[in-house]
Amino acid sequence: MLEIYDLRSALSALEHAGHNLVRVDEALDPHLDLLDHYLASYRTPFNSWMSAEQPLRLYERPKTGVFPVLLGLFGSRARTAFYLDPAARDGERLSNAGLIHRAIAAPRAPVCRAQASARAVVEHPDLHALLPALTCAPGDPGPTVTLGLVYARDEQTGAANCSVHRITLKPGSVAIAIFPGGHLQRLIDIHVARGQRLPVSINIGLDPAIYLAAALSKPALAFGDDELGVYGALRGRGVELAPCLTNSGRFIDHAEIVIEATLGAEKEFESPAGPDGEALSMPEYLGYFSPCGEVSTLHVSALTHRPGALYQALSGPGREQSELLGAGQEASIFRLLQEQGVGALVREIVAQPAGGGHLLTVIQVLKRCEADDERVRAIAEVLLEHIAATKNLVLVDADVNPYSIEDVMWAMSTRFRADRDIHSTRALRGTPLDPSQSSLYCSAEPEGFTRKSVLDCTVPFSLRARFRRAFC
């Protein structure tokens, strides 16, 4: 088994393990055409572009930009699991969430190099000319960097953050969408209060396990916890960080492409209003266009890259995005279950791609007595209350495959009645990008709040003999 330590070694390991990388030699425009070609490569009349597995493809000749475009790295759960345990050391003993939870408990700090490894340097770069950033839909604000991992660190306190953000290349500026309550915005606010700018690096093309670690959020990780420490534990060695050339920040030394920049208090509108008067973002991970407003302005000072660098991207909504966000969702649920002392009741946690990795999560439970009928529902309600990104939790028994949406629907068809097996919560904080979680959809609830649901598709413990499944 080949070792994974960067993007290129991950691709080699994938191919060695039998995963197919398709190289496309056709010249395609990153403005709409390239993504259209990619989506057409796996769409059929019988699948969903939102949740179907996405192929691994390298577009070698984009018409703009100087780097080949890689899509589909996280296009299946099998690939995602492979990155977490490429040598299969844990076999089937630990789930993806279990592997991540173990790494969170024993992080390995990054290692700081005195200087970077060999890289080409472009100061004051023209990102439009250099990057084959994709325009996904005709109304997009501009070409968008979709897998730019922002690394920031407060040198005074040591608090660090890794997170992926939508970065739009506009005619005269670079805009970055940052969640107002997120850890990166908190670091920006701390520096602005000191009269400083926050130095950052935007890292593109990485060991896939870094992107998975960066998808972690509260309650899996708290503010100041370094996602790179989780990555170090997954790989058994600290990731190497190198000093930026044009600011006081650091970047991931093995990154294919790095943008050096700073962030402050400056804001700008992400997109001008369209013909109908509404400004919209690129398609969001749930498959909709969302209204966009003010975002942060990124002050770019340099771009560096490895020789023969690859530009890694994803399609916006689709299986890749769902796998990344789902890994974080599953880790948050796993950690909360361990903290509540009820992990033994749960066998599997599967964030289904149909919910974008957030809104539809299947939990396979193992009941041992009649009291567990109520206990598993109560546990699910606790998860809905403490994890904002959750919306619908589906409970299934141990004889139902939680990875198969068809098997889950079988359980819903034969072990569930909507009049008695839906258990709804009070209005809880949710996901504003879900259009059903808005005051327009339900005027009685504030924006970003929703009543969440437990869909109990399990058999009452006392009736398990009547529900014995054939062909198990």
What CATH code is carried by the domain that includes residue 369? Answer: 3.40.1670.10
Q: How confident is the model at residue 163 (pLDDT cuts 50, 70, 90)?
A: very high
- If asked whether residues 221 and 356 sit together in one domain, one would say no
- If asked whether residues 350 and 397 sit together in one domain, one would say yes
Q: How confident is the model at residue 274 (pLDDT cuts 50, 70, 90)?
A: low
Which of the listed residues 295, 312, 329 is the one where a domain comes to its end?
A: 312
Domain at 286, CATH number: 2.30.110.10
58 lies in some domain: no
Q: How do 240-243 and 56-62 pair as beta strands?
A: unpaired
Q: How confident is the model at residue 421 (pLDDT cuts 50, 70, 90)?
A: very high
Q: Check pLDDT > 70 for residue 1.
A: no
- If asked whether residues 173 and 251 sit together in one domain, one would say yes
- If asked whether residues 119 and 223 sit together in one domain, one would say yes
- If asked whether residues 232 and 277 sit together in one domain, one would say yes
pLDDT at 447 (0 to 100)? 83
Task: Give the model confidence (pLDDT) of 305-327 as tens digits.
Answer: 999 999 999 998 999 999 999 99
Task: Give the model confidence (pLDDT) of 372-416 as tens digits.
Answer: 999 999 999 999 999 999 999 999 999 999 999 999 999 999 999
- If asked whether residues 271 and 395 sit together in one domain, one would say no
14 lies in some domain: no
49 lies in some domain: no
Lowest mean pLDDT among 113-117, 223-227, 338-342: 223-227
Q: Check pLDDT > 90 for residue 45.
A: yes
Q: Backbone phi, then psi, for 126, in 5-degree steps?
A: -90, 95
334 lies in some domain: no
- If asked whether residues 231 and 348 sit together in one domain, one would say no
Q: Which of 179, 230, 454, 423 is nearest to 332 (CA)?
A: 230
How many domains is the chain built from? 2
Would you say 4 and 86 are in contact if contact means Cβ atoms under 8 Å apart?
yes
- If asked whether residues 108 and 234 sit together in one domain, one would say yes
d(CA 185, CA 342): 34
155 lies in some domain: yes
131 lies in some domain: yes
Average pLDDT score over residue span 204-228: 92
User: Cα–Cα distances in Å, from 440 out to 291, 445, 447?
Assistant: 13, 9, 9
Q: For the CA atoms of the chain, what is the radius of gyration?
A: 22
Q: What DSSP character marks residue 245? A: S
- If asked whether residues 286 and 351 sit together in one domain, one would say no
Listing from the earlier edge strand, what are the strands of the sheet with 240-243?
111-112, 240-243, 250-252
- If asked whether residues 147 and 295 sit together in one domain, one would say yes
- If asked whether residues 274 and 345 sit together in one domain, one would say no
Would you say 216 and 100 are in contact if contact means Cβ atoms under 8 Å apart?
yes
The 3-state DSSP class for residue 336 equals: helix
- If asked whether residues 300 and 374 sit together in one domain, one would say no
Q: Which domain range does residue 304 map to?
A: 90-312
104 lies in some domain: yes
393 lies in some domain: yes
Q: How confident is the model at residue 92 (pLDDT cuts 50, 70, 90)?
A: low
